[in-house]
Structure 1
Amino acid sequence: MPERLAEMLLDLWTPLIILWITLPPCIYMAPMNQSQVLMSGSPLELNSLGEEQRILNRSKRGWVWNQMFVLEEFSGPEPILVGRLHTDLDPGSKKIKYILSGDGAGTIFQINDVTGDIHAIKRLDREEKAEYTLTAQAVDWETSKPLEPPSEFIIKVQDINDNAPEFLNGPYHATVPEMSILGTSVTNVTATDADDPVYGNSAKLVYSILEGQPYFSIEPETAIIKTALPNMDREAKEEYLVVIQAKDMGGHSGGLSGTTTLTVTLTDVNDNPPKFAQSLYHFSVPEDVVLGTAIGRVKANDQDIGENAQSSYDIIDGDGTALFEITSDAQAQDGIIRLRKPLDFETKKSYTLKVEAANIHIDPRFSGRGPFKDTATVKIVVEDADEPPVFSSPTYLLEVHENAALNSVIGQVTARDPDITSSPIRFSIDRHTDLERQFNINADDGKITLATPLDRELSVWHNITIIATEIRNHSQISRVPVAIKVLDVNDNAPEFASEYEAFLCENGKPGQVIQTVSAMDKDDPKNGHYFLYSLLPEMVNNPNFTIKKNEDNSLSILAKHNGFNRQKQEVYLLPIIISDSGNPPLSSTSTLTIRVCGCSNDGVVQSCNVEAYVLPIGLSMGALIAILACIILLFVIVVLFVTLRRHKNEPLIIKDDEDVRENIIRYDDEGGGEEDTEAFDIATLQNPDGINGFLPHYRRGLLGGISQDAV
């Protein structure tokens, strides 16, 4: 307590001592002006007007007056004397009046107009305003005329230590990695002091730590905070509170101080390995579990956080490495064991795995501490489950000839119950896959038989599904696809690939190819089709045409001579026998129609009784028939109309004056018996107009049949 009282007395008397030292110069200071000099009692002189004038002599000065000082925050019962103005023109007879103007004149500063003493009538604050500019002037008391020009001077407010340091940006937060070495920089803080940094030590700050030792230290002048202990462990303590003090006056007694807080957080580094919560894990799983199902989870704890705690899991050993896998859950940071392949209780009832957890992000600074990994043992017990039947094959492929007999066995499927307590199996066909019921199956032994005839040319493949059901538990069923391929037999004869029609030019040359034809066969022999072509036995010596087999399995028809005449014969029919290479071979006869046409010199068909060449506009046969029918119908209508009009105008009874002889037809030719009757249309006798029409005359020999030249 005595020391604190001494500090308070020193703080009170220090400004007074400074004031006592600085006031005397201020009182006797005078502005540097030729008319403002000290009175020395020198004799007077007359001026040019004859007036009496005092001779003024300059006295040598040791200083020049231009500013005054006043302590801030000074208060007392009386106004504080700042300084005194005095002019050499003042003889002391009270004839001179002092006037003050400028900053704070009359409100803050007051002057005694007789003595020139300047007082501060208010308490001043340097931090609010550091200096004031004022103007002083001496005038005649009676006339108020200036005795000298006005003089400007400055009053400076002298600083005292009245402001404590402040941390404007506090409280502070900083981070530093755990396990840092001694002296690692954490952060720096800055305090400000409103006092004058130039005058004295009022703004000279010194920093210290009040709380936070022995973990941190601070540089007294720069306020840089560093670690004071090495290898601080975040897992032991993560956050520290540091109290920092800034004291002015260079840290000496009597100075003012301010404090702030700094929260230091240790950031994590990977300095801890993962550790399994237990060394042995037990899991059980049914044998019929779906692939990919999670069987269990293992977890390795890591005292680190964030990415430093991330671990990857692997199965490194055991008898179930092929059946199980482990994946890492990034969110939960544990390992998930999943099933990769099907389990079979009857084959193996338990498995043992060795799993490992290892840090993903390794800090090389701590790698020497040992491996950042850990291992654990996992035992998996397989539980028995009622499993569905198992077919001997995942799919079946059967073959049957298309001429197979009904109820013949096509093939067989087999299945078994994999459980220890095996159940008998019954087989059936899923009729949704055999809507026409072409196949049957024996429910006991799985033999598939043919129920309806097969035709490869209608369907080559038949895909059905066989169902196997446990007799003891009908809910346990399995399905298997069965593909049945129908094999070909030679049951179709070859024939022309299309409706061929050949055209022969009248001016064609001998040996000219009239048409090339090809054959097709609905059967599908293994080695492909090979056709044999021939003419009918009675047509082998055909005088008009011959055939030639081509390498591409086609046939060319050639003309034997030239000089065909369509007037003599328009159409030739050429029967061709086509045989396949089956066992036994099949054959059929197809007839090629050959039409004789008129052609140009370069062999282009110009006219023949065929729609494609008679009409160059390219009308089809159907269109031609329709047009022809319309023309005939129109013609019939016209004929009927004319006939009706004529019958309407003719009388029913022949008039007597008409010459009946005009209706008699004379025929003077020698009679020919029955030939005349067949060659003459009796209707002509009834219709005299028909004599102008064209009546074709056919001889009996032409009507008797087609001559050998027709082919």
Structure 2
Amino acid sequence: MAPGVFCVSLLAVIMAQSVECCVPHSIQAQVPVEVRPGYVISQVPVAGCHIQGQWLTSSDPHFAMRSDGTIVTVDVTTVTAEGRSFWVRGRDGGGRRWRMEVRLSPDPEQEHIQVPMRVPLNVPAQKGAQRGPSEVLRRSKRRWSPLPFSIIEQDIPPFPKDVELVGSDSSVNFTVYYMISGPGVTMSPEKLFSVDRDTGMVRVHYPVDREQYPKFVFTAQVFDRRSGKETDRPLDITVLVEDINDNAPTFSGLLTFSVLEQCKPGTEVGEVKSTDKDEADTPHTKIRYTLLTGGQFFTIGSHSGLITARTSTLDRETQVVHAVTMEIRDMDGAKNGLFNTATATITLLDINDNPPTFRETTYKATIKENRADVLVLRIPVDDKDEEKTPNWNARFVITQGNENGNFRIDTDHETNEGLLYVVKPLDYEKGKTVKLMISAQNEAPLVGMAGTWLSIPVDVSVGDEDEGPEFTPPNMVIRVKENTPNGTLLSTYTALDPETKSSKGIKYYTKFDPGSWIAVGETTGELRVANTIDLESPLVTNGAYTITIKAVDESKKSGNGNITLLIEDVNDNVPKIVPGTDLTLCEEEEGQMGSITIEAKDADLSPYAGPFNFMLPEGHDGKWRLRDIQNGSAVLEQVVEMARGVYAVPVRVTDLQDKGGVQVLSVRVCQCLGGECVAKRSSVSVGIWGVLAMLLAFLLLLLLCLLFVFYCTTKGEKIYMEDCSGGMLLKSNTEAPGDEVKSAALLIVPSTGVAVDTVDSSMKGAGLVGLLNQNGAGCPAPGPPLIGQQTINLNRESVYQTSSRQDFLTAQGQSFYSTGQYGGGNFYTDTTFLKQSQASSTLSALHTWKTNGLYLGKKLVYFGDESEERYADDVARAYDYEGEGSPAGSVGCCSDFGDQDNLDFLDSLGSKFKTLANICMDKEEEI
């Protein structure tokens, strides 16, 4: 016998013995004489013995097995005095079958214990548990309950093969026959199972694949042969297909992995995954992993499939890709197990474990002196690491010999070579050879080794050339005070020939001197002041002034030298008030004094500049004072209120060395808007713009008066008045049909024989009435003759206005005039002021007009505002029918042009005009 077979057999025996030791051969239980459904009999140790609960079955249909090994009743069962027994069957984790006998004996004391019939088989119940009477259900009909059957997949012929008997308890009382239907019988796969009608033997007719049909559940029925009726309820029959190892395991997932080179042993590389179609958790699917190749570098977990590094010597530069062959075998790797093989690809990732190496042990190059930005040498290197990565890209460093910065080295990223350049000219006279030390490095640091970066020496030979003169030093610094007198010798700046080390035959010229401040001696190189040196000049930057001198030898070769003048300051400037001496002071509110800030600047530097001292000189007018004096500013403030205007204010400003003087400020005091003076009437003078503004206003007023006169003046008809003893109705104009009275012009007629001109031609036909009365007689008394003419216009407020002066002659021959306003009591002569009583007796015409003019003026304004259809009934209308009973009768077309000297028409004016006349007379009498 082979050693492998012997080990497997021994293991099976040990497992079988362990199961037999774990599960007892039989158990004894006492139960009531009449056991109700749901009563717990006992429990099989399922968990401790690794028994699969789904394979637990009972040989007695009155008892059922739960997955946890509990034995419960499913129907009312009677246990006689002789007892009752049945078998419990099952399988362990390895697929081996076992059975245990259950023996029941009656317990008279538990005879009346009742347990509900409907107890879930998946919920354990306590043994002997008692429920209330309300929970006791009706007794169900006794039924048949065969155990689950099982067949082996891919069973070998001959077929058909008996599986198991299906029997019903009703066969005791009836002659029965059996029928089955469902999957495997009448449904796909059809005709796999059949049943013997008489015996109830179930048979299988051909092999079946468990991976396709792991279980069949079909229905069994039992019928009475005589009546054809079912003698029991239909029962579901379960047929389990037992697995055989007929499927080899297969790989799943990718088989491509990567790991860093020189990794530590035990570093995870990747996990191999596999599957098996056989029944899970059985030896048929227990897979073992094995490496067939590559075991010297890698290992694989026998059950996990995890690949790890076996050694730290993995070198990408030696072998980049490793092909590892693997085997997976079920039955835990047993010889009879099924297997598959595959190749996994493991790629080693690069690390920087190889520094760049030089192809030569030393390099040499040659360069002429005075050359710059010239490629001197290309330095190739080799690197075993992966190309075009930071582990391969070279970086060159000059570690020695470049203290003066004459060289620069770069990298050619295509060829990975070092490029050595001269960036500053070399001097043959200072050194014929330059020795450099160059190191080659990578962008990534070295790992995985104790090595260092490599270096090589590079010798650069300098070729000699005929050069121009050289100044020593090449940059000279000279300190000089500003304003140094012209011709002063500052220094001597000479050059030497590099070959002869002599200054013979060298001439000097000024190459750059923007201010022409320095003169250089052509043959001596002496530097003398040629023009005033000024620190405050814009040519000076931070107190320094730069000059370039050129030296030319006999071979016309030249060299340059730079001179920097550091100029020292002197106190040659006084502080000045900025931005100027013309200042504007804005008026403050009443009771506050105005002020303005003044600032001073000094072009000198410290200590010849600020802080400045501000003061008012002696003998100032006392109207100003200084306060809040700071380093460079002070506040000039009024002491007394001042009229607007321009004031001259002297202020003395000195620097820190008390150098300075008096500066006269022109301060303008004015009202400001946005910081600027605005025009306003000044208490001192009007100014030219004020005069122009007044002239413009006067011209506009004159133009307005001319327009007014042109508008209001018309051609008037002159009316001559005779002496009369009463009031008269005077015709002012002729009204034509359709004319409308717009306004009225009242003429003051003081005496008979004086001509009165109408003023407004638009008043034609308005019927102006002039009432003149003095002592109630209706006619004016003789008074002073009227000199000139006066026009009085009525506005809607009944205020008359005069457009010319009225001159009267008194009895004594003196002239006077009226102010032309209602109620005016002031009348003036040329030299004498007249009283009110004297004016009243003299100007009766004015009083008459004053009384009646108001009434007539209001009337006329009202007429002008109203439309024609709304005129009052008492208004005289031209060419209109006066109505029946009118004293005047019908007015004819020519009634308005009657005899002007005939006054009989006054008797027929009507009651309204008589009332108007009475009002006028009463008013005059009151005066």
TM-score scaled by length of structure 2: 0.41
Taking a change above 3 Å as real, the CA distance of residues 220 and 155 of structure 1, as seen in their structure-2 partners, is same
Aligned counterpart, 1:194 = 277
1:242 Cα deviation from its structure 2 partner: 0.4
From 585, 593, 616, the equivalent of 2:642 is 616
**SS of alignment partner, residue 620 of structure 1:** strand
Q: Deviation digits for residues 385-444 of structure 1, max 9, x if unmatched?
A: 565653334135375895856x7866554334546799965544457713xx56655555
Unpaired segments of 5 or more residues in structure 2? 1-56, 63-82, 89-144, 578-601, 625-636, 648-665, 671-681, 696-927
Q: Deviation digits for residues 84-106 of structure 1, max 9, x if unmatched?
A: 4344665999x633232454441
**Does the aligned pair in 2 maintain the 1:415–1:468 contact within 8 Å?**
no
Aligned counterpart, 1:261 = 343
Q: Distance in 1 between matches of 2:491 and 2:202?
A: 134
**SS of alignment partner, residue 151 of structure 2:** strand
Matches within 5 A, 1:257-336: 257-267=339-349, 275-290=357-372, 296=377, 298=379, 301-303=382-384
Aligned counterpart, 2:208 = 124
Q: Distance in 1 between matches of 2:456 and 2:190?
A: 90
Taking a change above 3 Å as real, the CA distance of residues 388 and 158 of structure 1, as seen in their structure-2 partners, is farther
1:166 Cα deviation from its structure 2 partner: 1.3
**Does the aligned pair in 1 maintain the 2:644–2:669 contact within 8 Å?**
no
Matches within 5 A, 1:437-586: 440-447=519-526, 454=532, 463=545, 465-468=547-550, 470=552, 478=560, 480-481=562-563, 483=565
Q: Distance in 2 between matches of 1:397 and 1:267?
A: 66
Taking a change above 3 Å as real, the CA distance of residues 32 and 285 of structure 1, as seen in their structure-2 partners, is same
Aligned counterpart, 1:414 = 494
Q: Return the letter of the residue paired with 1:395.
A: M
Q: Does 1:70 align with 2:151?
A: yes
1:479 Cα deviation from its structure 2 partner: 5.7
**Does the aligned pair in 2 maintain the 1:130–1:156 contact within 8 Å?**
yes
Taking a change above 3 Å as real, the CA distance of residues 172 and 485 of structure 1, as seen in their structure-2 partners, is closer
1:276 Cα deviation from its structure 2 partner: 2.9
Q: Deviation digits for residues 193-228 of structure 1, max 9, x if unmatched?
A: 1102455x4323233333335444545445454556
**Does the aligned pair in 1 maintain the 2:267–2:308 contact within 8 Å?**
yes
Aligned counterpart, 1:504 = none
**SS of alignment partner, residue 341 of structure 2:** strand
TM-score scaled by length of structure 1: 0.51
Q: Distance in 2 between matches of 1:67 and 1:527?
A: 119
1:154 Cα deviation from its structure 2 partner: 1.0
Q: Does 1:346 align with 2:429?
A: yes
Q: Distance in 2 between matches of 1:192 and 1:96?
A: 49
Say which structure, 1 or 2, has more relative contact order (CA 8 Å, 6+ apart): 1
From 226, 230, 247, the equivalent of 1:146 is 230
Q: Distance in 1 between matches of 2:446 and 2:332?
A: 48
1:69 Cα deviation from its structure 2 partner: 1.9
Taking a change above 3 Å as real, the CA distance of residues 476 and 240 of structure 1, as seen in their structure-2 partners, is farther
Q: Distance in 1 between matches of 2:539 and 2:689?
A: 55
Larger CA Rg, structure 1 vs 2: 2
Q: Distance in 1 between matches of 2:524 and 2:337?
A: 110
Aligned counterpart, 1:378 = 458
Q: Distance in 1 between matches of 2:321 and 2:459?
A: 42
From 448, 471, 476, the equivalent of 1:391 is 471
Taking a change above 3 Å as real, the CA distance of residues 241 and 349 of structure 1, as seen in their structure-2 partners, is same
**SS of alignment partner, residue 429 of structure 2:** coil
1:164 Cα deviation from its structure 2 partner: 1.7
Q: Distance in 1 between matches of 2:212 and 2:342?
A: 26
Q: Return the letter of the residue paired with 1:149.
A: R
**Does the aligned pair in 1 maintain the 2:469–2:553 contact within 8 Å?**
no
Taking a change above 3 Å as real, the CA distance of residues 527 and 88 of structure 1, as seen in their structure-2 partners, is closer
Q: Return the letter of the residue paired with 2:150.
A: F
Taking a change above 3 Å as real, the CA distance of residues 221 and 257 of structure 1, as seen in their structure-2 partners, is same
1:350 Cα deviation from its structure 2 partner: 0.4
Q: Which moved more, 1:241-250 or 1:62-71?
A: 62-71
**Does the aligned pair in 2 maintain the 1:274–1:372 contact within 8 Å?**
no
**Does the aligned pair in 2 maintain the 1:324–1:337 contact within 8 Å?**
no
Aligned counterpart, 1:654 = none
**Does the aligned pair in 1 maintain the 2:623–2:639 contact within 8 Å?**
no
**Does the aligned pair in 2 maintain the 1:245–1:257 contact within 8 Å?**
yes
Taking a change above 3 Å as real, the CA distance of residues 396 and 120 of structure 1, as seen in their structure-2 partners, is same
Q: Deviation digits for residues 474-501 of structure 1, max 9, x if unmatched?
A: 89663634538699899x9x9999xxxx
Q: Deviation digits for residues 261-315 of structure 1, max 9, x if unmatched?
A: 2222345566656543321012334433559x87556566454567777988766
From 230, 236, 246, the equivalent of 1:162 is 246
Q: Distance in 1 between matches of 2:263 and 2:566?
A: 75
Aligned counterpart, 1:658 = none
Q: Distance in 1 between matches of 2:359 and 2:181?
A: 88
Q: Distance in 2 between matches of 1:465 and 1:315?
A: 36
Q: Does 1:85 align with 2:85?
A: no
**Does the aligned pair in 1 maintain the 2:412–2:419 contact within 8 Å?**
no
Q: Which moved more, 1:208-217 or 1:82-91?
A: 82-91
Q: Distance in 2 between matches of 1:61 and 1:527?
A: 126
Q: Return the letter of the residue paired with 2:476.
A: T
**Does the aligned pair in 2 maintain the 1:303–1:309 contact within 8 Å?**
yes
Taking a change above 3 Å as real, the CA distance of residues 208 and 33 of structure 1, as seen in their structure-2 partners, is closer
Identity %: 22
**Does the aligned pair in 2 maintain the 1:400–1:410 contact within 8 Å?**
no
Q: Does 1:235 align with 2:317?
A: yes
**Does the aligned pair in 2 maintain the 1:177–1:269 contact within 8 Å?**
yes
Taking a change above 3 Å as real, the CA distance of residues 628 and 348 of structure 1, as seen in their structure-2 partners, is same
From 212, 216, 229, the equivalent of 2:294 is 212
**Does the aligned pair in 2 maintain the 1:353–1:378 contact within 8 Å?**
yes
1:118 Cα deviation from its structure 2 partner: 3.7
Q: Distance in 2 between matches of 1:431 and 1:459?
A: 17
Q: Return the letter of the residue paired with 2:218.
A: L
Taking a change above 3 Å as real, the CA distance of residues 424 and 221 of structure 1, as seen in their structure-2 partners, is same
Q: Return the letter of the residue paired with 1:243.
A: T
Q: Distance in 2 between matches of 1:143 and 1:496?
A: 142
Taking a change above 3 Å as real, the CA distance of residues 121 and 176 of structure 1, as seen in their structure-2 partners, is farther
**SS of alignment partner, residue 202 of structure 1:** helix
Q: Distance in 1 between matches of 2:299 and 2:575?
A: 110
Q: Distance in 2 between matches of 1:186 and 1:631?
A: 104
Q: Distance in 1 between matches of 2:538 and 2:568?
A: 5
Q: Return the letter of the residue paired with 1:383.
A: G
**Does the aligned pair in 1 maintain the 2:644–2:684 contact within 8 Å?**
no
**SS of alignment partner, residue 211 of structure 1:** coil
1:137 Cα deviation from its structure 2 partner: 1.9
Q: Which moved more, 1:375-384 or 1:353-362?
A: 353-362
- Kindly tell me the number of residue pairs found equivalent between the two proteins: 481
